[in-house]
Chain A
Amino acid sequence: MNASQILGRWRSPLISLLLVLPLGVWRPELGKSALLLLGENILMVMGILPPVFILLGLFDTWVPRERVAPHMGDGSGAKGTVLSVLLGACSAGPLYIAFPVAEVMLRKGTSLRNVFVFIGAWSTMRIPMILFEIQNLGAVFGLTRYCVSLVGILLMALLLDRLLDAAEKKRIVARFQAE
């Protein structure tokens, strides 16, 4: 890998650094605590990532498309949707870890709509998080938000599926079918 490739790959953290640098210069003491937090966050994420990616890699090579597609693909109906919600709700970790998982799901023939349901459920319906939310903000707040979010997730996945034209959908799915 040459220097320009490395630079291209690291473009987004560099841009972020340029964004936050002035803040750090403006209030150095807050910048310092941000750096400490960054260290903690990196340790935490780097702690979860290795097993997640190992499991994804194993799933990708061992589980054939034919085993997943009928349950979660086009035409899997309500069962596919329920499975996608459960998968998302039982997950752990921040939303950005959901994207590589979604990639493997797409590659195994999960429908785009169900992948969006999964992403939505991951973002707002994770079970450890709702328990924590109830603890802090009360059952009425937490449970109402949870139920309203579920309705929203299903609606949004349906709408996304409708609003994206066939060519765009094909492009998204095709990107992950390369190998």
Chain B
Amino acid sequence: MTLILYLLAGGCLVASAISSREKTVKSLKKAWKSFANIVPAFFAVLLLVSFSVAFLPERVIASLIGEESGFVGQLLASVLGSLTLIPGFIAFPMAKILVESGAGIAQMAVFVSTLMMVGVATAPLEASFFGWRATLLRNAMAYCYSFVVGYVVWMAVAV
């Protein structure tokens, strides 16, 4: 995946350089500027990601959001999903283990959904682009909607 991106970027860069050296330099300057602007925020996010993955072992989460945990379990799942930032390639195998070790389906769907759509740790970064009002609105709506997702997925899996 990353290789494709590099090939694509390299190819476009060469094509651009052939057509117009001036525009290419301008593009690279823009690229560098937005890159430099965003790097500190990425560090903050990555720091929080790494610690939330390391400090929340699967069995702790599974014990919190079991099948019998009901709505309280869903609330806990939503809080965990919103606060933590676990990338998909770690989250899904983990979710599988969680379900196998007793986590509820509805709770799991709420967890996965908030994990993807709600980001407390990324909120400052999001707000630097869209402003706080839009950021808070989007995250609040996504948070509430995650319970809808949990309910529908639970029903679908149950039948």
Residues of A with Cβ closer than 8 Å to B?
9-13, 15-17, 19-20, 23-24, 27, 30-31, 33-35, 37-38, 41-42, 45, 47-58, 60-62, 92, 94-96, 99-100, 102-103, 116, 119-120, 123-124, 126, 128-129, 132-133, 135-138, 140-141, 144-145, 148-149, 152, 155-156, 159-160, 163-164, 168, 171-172
Are A51 and B6 in contact (CB-based, < 8 A)?
A: yes
Within 8 A of A (CB), among B136-159: 137-138, 141-142, 145, 148-149, 152-153, 156-157
How far, in angstroms, from A77 to B89 measured CA to CA in the complex? Answer: 34
Q: Mark B110-141, 1 if CB is under 8 A from A, else 0.
A: 00110011010110111001110110011001
Contact B53 A34 (CB under 8 A): yes
B141 & A58 in contact (Cβ 8 Å cutoff): no
- Which of B1, B12, B44 lies in contact with A92, CB distance below 8 A? B1
Q: A144 CA to B133 CA in the complex, in Å? A: 30
Is A53's CB under 8 angstroms from B54's CB?
no
Partner of A19, one of B48, B49, B87, B131: B48
A20-B48, A61-B23, A136-B96 known; A31 vs B54 contact (CB < 8 Å): yes
Distance in Å: Cβ of B5 to nearest Cβ of chain A? 4
Residues on A with beta carbons closer than 8 Å to the beta carbon of B99? 137
A54: chain B residues at CB < 8 Å are 9, 12-13, 27-28, 31
Using A16-B43, A31-B51 as known contacts, list a sample of 6 further A-B pairs with CB atoms less than 8 Å apart, ordered by residue number in A: A31-B54, A52-B5, A55-B8, A58-B9, A95-B119, A137-B92
Establish whether residues B137 and A163, one from each chain, have CB atoms under 8 Å apart when the complex forms.
yes
Q: Is B69 an interface residue (CB 8 A)?
A: no
Assembled-state Cα–Cα distance A155/B8 (Å): 34
3 smallest CB-CB distances across A and B, nearest first, come from A57-B31, A51-B9, A34-B54
Q: Does B109 lie within 8 Å of A141, measured CB to CB?
A: yes
Collect the chain B residues with CB atoms within 8 Å of residue A168's CB. Answer: 131, 133-134
A57-B27, A57-B31 known; A34 vs B50 contact (CB < 8 Å): yes
Q: Please, could you name 11 A-B residue pairs with CB atoms under 8 Å apart, sorted by A?
A: A20-B48, A33-B54, A42-B46, A54-B31, A57-B27, A58-B16, A61-B27, A62-B23, A96-B122, A123-B116, A168-B133
- Taking a contact as CB atoms under 8 Å apart, the answer to whether A62 and B145 are in contact is no
The answer, yes or no, to whether B71 is at the interface (CB within 8 Å) is no
Smallest Cβ distance from A88 to chain B, in angstroms? 12
Please, which residues of chain A bring their CB within 8 A of the CB of B54?
Answer: 30-31, 33-34, 37
Q: How far is the CB of B155 from chain A (nearest CB, A)?
A: 8
What residues of A have a CB within 8 angstroms of the CB of B16 in the complex? 58, 62
Q: Is the beta-carbon distance between A149 and B34 smaller than 8 angstroms?
A: no
Of chain B, the residue at the smallest CB distance from A41 is B46
Provide the residues of chain A in CB contact with B49, threshold 8 Å: 37, 41
| A33 to B: closest C-beta gap in Å | 5
Contacts of B85 in A (CB 8 A): 94
Residue among A10, A24, A60, A94 facing the most chain B CB atoms (10 A cut-off): A94
Contacts A23-B55, A132-B88 hold; do A124 and B6 have CB atoms under 8 A apart? no
